[in-house]
Amino acid sequence: MSKLFKVLKIIKDVLGYLVMLVLVGMTVFVLVTNSRGDVPFFGNHSIMWVLTESMEPVIPERSNILVEKVDPSELAVGDIIVFVSRDPLIEGQRNTHRIAEIIGDNEEFVTKGDHNQVEDAYHVFPEDVVGRYVRNLPIVTRFTRLLSTKMGLMMIIVVVMAVMMLLYLPDLKKSLKKQEEEAAKSHEEFIEEMVRQELEKMKSMNLVIPGLNDAPAGPPAEVTSAEDAGDEPASDNTTGEDDKCSRA
Identify which of 176, 167, 127, 226 has the alpha carbon closest to the alpha carbon of residue 10.
167
pLDDT of the residue at 176:
77
Q: Please check the confidence at residue 96 and state whether its pLDDT lies above 80.
A: yes
DSSP state of 74: G
Evaluate whether residue 176 is within a structural domain: no
Evaluate whether residue 212 is within a structural domain: no
The backbone torsions φ and ψ at residue 78, rounded to the nearest 5 degrees and listed phi first, read 105, -20
In this predicted model, which residue has the larger pLDDT, 144 or 247? Answer: 144
| pLDDT 10s digits, 7-33 | 666 676 666 667 666 666 666 665 555
pTM: 0.55
In this predicted model, which residue has the larger pLDDT, 218 or 91? Answer: 91
What is the SS3 assignment for 69?
coil
Strands (E) in 73-113, as ranges, are 80-84, 94-103, 108-112
Please state, in angstroms and as integers, the Cα–Cα distance from residue 184 to each residue in 127, 170, 179, 213, following that order: 71, 21, 9, 31
pLDDT of the residue at 229:
46
pLDDT of the residue at 245:
45
Domain that holds residue 93: 2-148
| pLDDT 10s digits, 188-234 | 888 888 888 888 877 787 765 565 555 455 555 554 444 444 555 44
In this predicted model, which residue has the larger pLDDT, 227 or 2? Answer: 2
Evaluate whether residue 225 is within a structural domain: no
Q: Please check the confidence at residue 146 and state whether its pLDDT lies above 70.
A: yes
Task: Name the average pLDDT for the chain.
Answer: 78
DSSP-derived secondary structure for 160-216:
HHHHHHHHHHHHHHHHHHHHHHHHHHHHHHHHHHHHHHHHHHHHHTT---TTTSSS-
- Give the pLDDT band of residue 248 (cuts 50, 70, 90): very low
β-sheet with 80-84: strand ranges across: 45-50, 63-68, 129-136, 80-84, 94-103, 108-112
Evaluate whether residue 55 is within a structural domain: yes
Sequence-ordered list of residues with C-beta below 8 angstroms from that of 12, at least 6 positions apart, any chain = 167
Which CATH number covers residue 36?
2.10.109.10
Average pLDDT value for residue range 81-93? 90
Q: What is the dihedral of CA 11, 12, 18, 19, to 10 degrees?
A: 150
Evaluate whether residue 232 is within a structural domain: no
Q: Please check the confidence at residue 52 and state whether its pLDDT lies above 60.
A: yes
pLDDT of the residue at 235:
47
Least confident of 86-95, 141-150, 220-229: 220-229
Number of other CB atoms surrounding residue 107 within 10 Å: 12
| Helix axes of 2-33 and 138-147: crossing angle, nearest 10 degrees | 80
pLDDT above 70 covers what percent of the chain? 68
Evaluate whether residue 74 is within a structural domain: yes
Q: How many domains does the chain have?
A: 1
